Amino acid sequence: MRLSRTARILFWIAVVVIAVVTLFPFYWTLRTALTFPRGVFAHPTMFLPPEPTLGNFERVLGLVDAATSVSLGGSGQKINFFIFLRNSIVVSTLITVGQTFFSAAAAYAFARMRFPLRRQIFGLYLSALMVPGIVLLIPNFILVKTLGWLDTYQGIAAPAFLMSPFAVFFLRQFFLGLSRELEEAALVEGAGRVRIFFQIAIPLSATALATLAVITFIYSWNDYLWPLLVGRGESVRMLTVAIGIFRQQGAQNIPDWAGLMAGTTLAILPTLVLFLALGKRVINSIGFTGFR
Amino acid sequence: MKLGEHAISDSAINASQSVRKGAQIRFKETAIALIFILPSLAGFVAFFVVPAVRGLYISFTDWNLLTPSKPVGLANYAALLTDPDFWNALKVTVFYVLWNIPLQTVLAVAVALVMNAAAKSSLLKGVILLPWLMPNVVVALLWMWILDPTIGLINVAVKALGGPLLPFLSSPGMALPTIAGINIWRYLGYTALLVFAGLQTIPTDVYEAARIDGSGERQTFWRITLPLLRPVLAFVVVTSVLGSFQIFDTVAVTTKGGPINATKVFNYMIYQQAFERFQMGYATAVSMVLFLILVGVGLLQMKLLRAGEVET
C-alpha cells in the first residue's frame, strides 16, 4: 500500500510505540535479574542494571550454598529452579508428544476412514471446545486424587496426554486438505491404512504437526492452575507454579524482586528460543486456527 | 479374509460373496479406525465426558471431601442465589470483561491496520505476539514489579515528576482495571493477528474501486474495511469475551481476589470454595452456573453481531 508522507511518519511512530510498549517490560525483567538485590532498591529507575551481577541466577538455580546466597543478597533459603526447569520440560514434552501423536491418529481416522458414529463422535469432541475449563477442573482433580496420582508427572500430564479437542479439530482440517491421490494409489497397491498413515500422511503433514507441537508445548509450559492443584510437591513442581510460590516467600512480605526476575527470565527463555526458531509458522498458524 | 479370497473363484456364489467381502472390508476398516481413535476416545471419555457428568452430579450433593456426601437436590443452586459472594463474583467478572474487551478490540484493530500498512511485517508480528506466548504468571509478575507502589518504575517516575502515588493492584478501585490492562498487554498481539488475517481476506480491488470513486482513507475504513471485517470481528469478540469471563491466573498471582473482594472473579471464587473451603458441591454448582452464563453470553453475542449483517 502506498502511503502519504504524513501517513508514513505516523506509521513509523506507531511501530516504534508498539515495539517499545511490548518489549520494554521484558527488558526491565532482564535488567532487574542482572541487578544486585541492594541495587534494585537503591536505583529503581536506572536504565542499565545498577551493580550488575549474575548472582541472582546462581541463587535461584541453587548453585551456591546458603552463606554465599546471603552474601549475594538472597535470604539464604534453598531454591532450586533446576528441578522446576526439568519438571516443566518433562511434563510439557510428555504432553506434546502424546497429544500430537494420538490426536493425529484420531484426526486421520475422522478425515479418511468410514466407521459408525463418526460424525457423532467428532461432534462430541467439538462440543467439548465450548466447555469452560473450571467445570472439568474439580472432577478431574478428584479423579487424579483417587488414582493416587497427586504430585506425579502422570497426574499433571494425564488430562492432556491422549488428546485435546482442538488438536483433533486442527489436524482433521489439515488432513482433509491433503490430496487423496497418493493415499489412494497406495491403497490400490495393497498398502494398509496404518502404513499409509505413517509413511504418507505423517510426512506430508510434518509442518502442521510441528506447528501444533510448538503451540501445545508452549501451552503446557505456561499452564498454571492445573499443575498448581495436582503438582505442588517440589519433585514435580513446574516453573509457573514455582514462581508463584517463590513470590510469596520474600522477607517481611517484600518480594525478592531480583531473584524473582531471574526465575522469570528462566521461564521465558525456552519459549523465546522455540519462537525464534519456529516463529513464522506459529504466526501463520494463528490466521489458520482462527478461521477454518 | 482368507474365506473371501477362496470364494472368488466360485462363480455361482460370486455375487453374494462380493457383498460379504464388501462387508468384511468395511468391518476391517471400522476395526482399524477404532484403533486409530481409541486412545483419543479413552482420553476424551476419562477427562471430558465423565468429569462433566460427575461435576453435574456433585453439584447436587453437599460433598466437602471430609464427610461422606449426600444428595441435597437443588440446595446448592438455591444457596448461591442468596450468596453475596456469588453476586459479587458476577459483578466483578462483568466489570472485568467491560474493562478488558472494548479497549483490547479497538487497539487490536488499530495495530492490525499498522501491520497491514507495513510491507514486510514479520518482525513486527513476531514482536507483538511475544507477550501472548509467555505464561500468565510471568506476565503478571513482570507488571507487578513495574507497577509496585514503593519501588516500581512507574510510581518512582510519577513521584519524581510530582505526581500522586498510584496504588494500582493494592487499591480496590484500581486493581480490576489494572488486571484488565495487564491482560490487554498480553492478548493485544494475538487479537491483532486475528484481525490482520481478516484484513488480508479483503481483496485489494475493493480498495482500488473505492479510491477511484474518490473515497478518502477515513471513509474507506468506516464504509468498507469495517463492514467487511465484521465476521472476523464477531469471531474475535465472541472468543475473547468467553476467554475473559474465565480469567484466573493473573488474579491468583497478583491480588488473590482482593483488596476487599474487588477482583474476586468467578473462577477465583470457585477455586476458593473448592480448594480452600472444600465445598466441592457448592463450587461445582457455581461452575455449572458459570457454564450456563457463558453459553447464554455466547449465543446472545452471535445473535447481536449477526443481526443486520450485510450480505456481501
Taking an 8 Å cut-off on Cβ atoms, the answer to whether B137 and A229 are in contact is: no
Check residue B3 and give its pLDDT: 43
CA A141 from centre of chain? 21
Using one digit for the tens of pLDDT, what is the confidence trace for B84-130? 999 999 999 999 999 999 999 999 999 998 888 876 667 888 888 89
- Write down the domain spans for chain A: 5-79+248-291, 81-230
pLDDT at A76 over 80: no
Which amino acid does the sequence have at A59?
R
CB B37 within 8 A of CB A121: yes
Residues of chain B positioned with their CB less than 8 A from the CB of A221: 135
Q: Which residues contact A285 (CB under 8 A, 6 or more apart)?
A: A211, A212, A215
Smallest Cβ–Cβ distance between A45 and the set B126, B156, B284 belongs to: B156
pLDDT at B5 over 50: no
- Partners of B73 in the beta sheet? none
Q: How many residues does chain B have?
A: 312
Taking an 8 Å cut-off on Cβ atoms, the answer to whether A247 and B141 are in contact is: yes
Residues of chain B positioned with their CB less than 8 A from the CB of A25: 131, 142-143, 146, 185
Check residue A221 and give its pLDDT: 92
Long-range (24+ apart) CB contacts under 8 A made by B32-38 are: B32/A113, B32/A192, B32/A193, B32/A194, B33/A109, B33/A113, B33/A114, B33/A115, B33/A118, B33/A193, B34/A115, B35/A194, B36/A105, B36/A106, B36/A108, B36/A109, B36/A113, B36/A193, B36/A197, B37/A105, B37/A106, B37/A109, B37/A110, B37/A121
Spatial separation of the C-alpha atoms in residues A259 and A285, rounded to whole Å: 35
CB B62 within 8 A of CB B281: yes
Residues of chain B positioned with their CB less than 8 A from the CB of A145: none
The 8-class DSSP code of residue A49 comes to P
What's the CATH number for A81-230?
Answer: 1.10.3720.10
Across the range A257-286, mean pLDDT stands at: 82
Q: Which of residues 250-269 of B touch A (CB under 8 A)?
A: 252-253, 266-267
pLDDT at B240 over 60: yes
- Write down the domain spans for chain B: 2-58, 76-306
Q: Which residues contact A32 (CB under 8 A, 6 or more apart)?
A: A40, A49, A257, A258, A261, B145
Residues of chain B positioned with their CB less than 8 A from the CB of A280: 122, 126
Phi, psi (degrees; rounded to nearest 5) at B278: 60, 25
Question: Which of A4, A22, A40, A164 to probe the B interface (max B CBs under 10 A)?
Answer: A22
Spatial separation of the C-alpha atoms in residues B271 and B287, rounded to whole Å: 10
Residues of chain B positioned with their CB less than 8 A from the CB of A139: 50-52, 54-55, 58, 284
Residues of chain A positioned with their CB less than 8 A from the CB of B30: 114-116
Count, in order, helices (H) and strands (E) of chain A.
16, 0
pLDDT at A292 over 90: no
Spatial separation of the C-alpha atoms in residues B280 and A248, rounded to whole Å: 26
Check residue B2 and give its pLDDT: 42
Spatial separation of the C-alpha atoms in residues B53 and A139, rounded to whole Å: 9
pLDDT at A1 over 60: no
Phi, psi (degrees; rounded to nearest 5) at B61: -125, 175
- Is B122 an interface residue toward A (CB < 8 Å)? yes
Q: Which fold has domain B76-306?
A: MetI-like fold (1.10.3720)
Nearest-neighbour CA in chain B from A93: distance (Å): 16
Using one digit for the tens of pLDDT, what is the confidence trace for B44-59? 999 999 999 999 999 9
Taking an 8 Å cut-off on Cβ atoms, the answer to whether B52 and A136 are in contact is: yes
Nearest-neighbour CA in chain A from B47: distance (Å): 6
pLDDT at B69 over 50: yes
Spatial separation of the C-alpha atoms in residues A48 and A60, rounded to whole Å: 22
Taking an 8 Å cut-off on Cβ atoms, the answer to whether B126 and A194 are in contact is: no
Nearest-neighbour CA in chain A from B78: distance (Å): 19
Using one digit for the tens of pLDDT, what is the confidence trace for A164-173? 999 999 899 8
Nearest-neighbour CA in chain B from A67: distance (Å): 27
Nearest-neighbour CA in chain A from B18: distance (Å): 17
- Is B27 an interface residue toward A (CB < 8 Å)? no
The 8-class DSSP code of residue B170 comes to G
Taking an 8 Å cut-off on Cβ atoms, the answer to whether B287 and A134 are in contact is: yes
Residue A52: helix, strand or coil by DSSP? strand
Taking an 8 Å cut-off on Cβ atoms, the answer to whether B294 and A260 are in contact is: no
- Mean of the per-residue pLDDT values of chain B: 86
Taking an 8 Å cut-off on Cβ atoms, the answer to whether B50 and A275 are in contact is: no
Q: Which three cell numbers stand for residue A106?
A: 484420531
Taking an 8 Å cut-off on Cβ atoms, the answer to whether B39 and A162 are in contact is: yes
Taking an 8 Å cut-off on Cβ atoms, the answer to whether B235 and A290 are in contact is: yes
Using one digit for the tens of pLDDT, what is the confidence trace for B176-206? 999 999 999 999 999 998 898 888 888 888 8
Cell 475449563 belongs to A133
Residues of chain A positioned with their CB less than 8 A from the CB of B32: 113, 192-194
Helix pair angle (A165-177, A118-128), 10° resolution: 130
CB B295 within 8 A of CB A130: yes
Taking an 8 Å cut-off on Cβ atoms, the answer to whether B153 and A130 are in contact is: no
Taking an 8 Å cut-off on Cβ atoms, the answer to whether B116 and A192 are in contact is: no
Residues of chain B positioned with their CB less than 8 A from the CB of A118: 33
- Mean of the per-residue pLDDT values of chain A: 86
ipTM of the complex: 0.87
Give the closest residue to B264 by CA, choosing from B280, B282, B252.
Answer: B252
Spatial separation of the C-alpha atoms in residues B3 and B288, rounded to whole Å: 54
Smallest Cβ–Cβ distance between A135 and the set B52, B146, B196 belongs to: B52
Question: Which of A4, A34, A131, A135 to probe the B interface (max B CBs under 10 A)?
Answer: A135
Phi, psi (degrees; rounded to nearest 5) at A52: -60, 140
pLDDT at A288 over 80: no
Spatial separation of the C-alpha atoms in residues B181 and B186, rounded to whole Å: 9
Residue B190: helix, strand or coil by DSSP? helix
Using one digit for the tens of pLDDT, what is the confidence trace for A141-195? 999 999 999 999 999 999 999 999 999 998 998 899 888 888 888 888 888 889 9
The pLDDT confidence band at residue B29, using thresholds 50, 70 and 90, is: confident
